[in-house]
A and B are shown apart, each in its own frame.
Chain A
Amino acid sequence: MERSFEAYFRQNRLPHLWCPGCGNGIVMKAIVQAIEKEGLTQDNTVIVSGIGCSSRASGYMDFDTLHTAHGRAIPFATGVKLANPELNVVVITGDGDCTAIGGNHFIHGCRRNVDLTVVLFDNNIYGMTGGQASPMTPTGKKATTAPYGSVDRPFNACALAGAAGATYVARSTAFHVKHLTDMISGGLRNKGFSFIEAMVQCPTAYGRKNKMGDPAKMMAWMRDNAVMKAAWDKLPEGEKQGEKFPIGVFKQEEGVAYDVAYEKVIEIAGGARK
């Protein structure tokens, strides 16, 4: 029962602090499996995270890891990548971290096409602080700060990333583990800003409040409502409603990564190899 993914974890830090049934552990494993699959090493890969439940992942992963401040993972990661472009930089963030307090950094990271692979663990809630509404809490769903149901309209983070200029955008779920790993792999291969939304169940702060049942029921909901992109595209508009949502690669295009573009600047300025 030896598993190669175990080598990518700091064994002395496990078990992790996430609640029973939380989907974060599934995504964390998918990330290291994608790293392994793509042949990235623990010495040439840096994991950068923000603040929140998801961002605790960095502490369990046996790489150089950087647990930054709330919302700030992308600027720190940008600095790491530009300072040493040899490093592969993976960002782990959450829906509140990335799209609320870090929203500005997120869209500008996309715009610059910095070569980062950003994995957003979307649990639709602020978990660590006990279940407040996030910009990705669906309208009408309950949270401690939305006791009558959320009034806000949520972000579609994938559409946001694509519009802002990310060159690779994908979504998957904690149920679709192999698919999720493939989506992350694609992001690691893309030389530019890659964004992967990983939908995860938060049974403690979100599921309970919204009577979504146990963790397995929340994952079954993902299974029953996720539609592969190709099938989604063929659906008549009227059927793209309700709880159904698409998963898969939404955007993949060529674009010059920021560090590569800046090498040109150094060349023009005459500072190459100095």
Chain B
Amino acid sequence: MKGVITIKEPRCKGCGICAAFCPKKVLAVSELGKIQVQNADACIACGQCEMRCPDYAIFVDKEEASA
């Protein structure tokens, strides 16, 4: 299962909680203090990042099956 990650950047405070609990090391905090997707292909849409984001800045949806 693959995931589609959406980041609402204005809400992100760069705390790094999502990156720390991502089991596949998909995310990292950028030099500018915002979360970034660095390894999109590894995302398994587990939703751990979204669940614990205190700022409602990251969302993961399961990729729609391609037609």
Contacts and interface: CB of A to CB of B under 8 A. Distances in A.
20 contacts: A1-B6, A3-B56, A3-B59, A14-B11, A15-B10, A15-B11, A19-B13, A21-B15, A21-B17, A23-B54, A24-B54, A25-B54, A26-B53, A26-B54, A177-B52, A178-B51, A214-B15, A215-B16, A216-B15, A219-B20
Contacts of B20: 214, 216-217, 219-220
Interface of B: 4, 6, 10-11, 13-17, 19-21, 51-57, 59, 61
B16 A216 contact: yes
B16 A15 contact: no
SS of B interface (majority):
mixed
Contact of B15 (A175, A215, A220): A215
A214 B16 contact: yes
Interface string A1-43: 1010110010000111011111111100100000000000000
Contact of B59 (A1, A19, A24, A26): A1
Q: Max chain A CB contacts within 10 Å: which of B10, B13, B16, B21?
A: B13
Contacts of B57: 15
A114 B19 CA distance: 42
A180 B8 CA distance: 24
B36 to A, nearest CB: 15
B16 A177 contact: no
A247 to B, nearest CB: 16
- 10 closest A-B pairs (Cβ-Cβ)? A216-B20, A25-B54, A21-B15, A20-B13, A1-B59, A20-B15, A1-B6, A15-B11, A177-B51, A215-B15
Nearest to A200: B54
Given A3-B59, A214-B16, A216-B20, A18 B54 contact: yes
Contacts of A1: 4, 6, 59, 61
Nearest to A220: B20
Q: Which of B6, B16, B54 has the most CB of A within 10 A?
A: B54
Contacts of B54: 18, 21-26, 174, 215
B67 to A, nearest CB: 20
Nearest to A28: B54
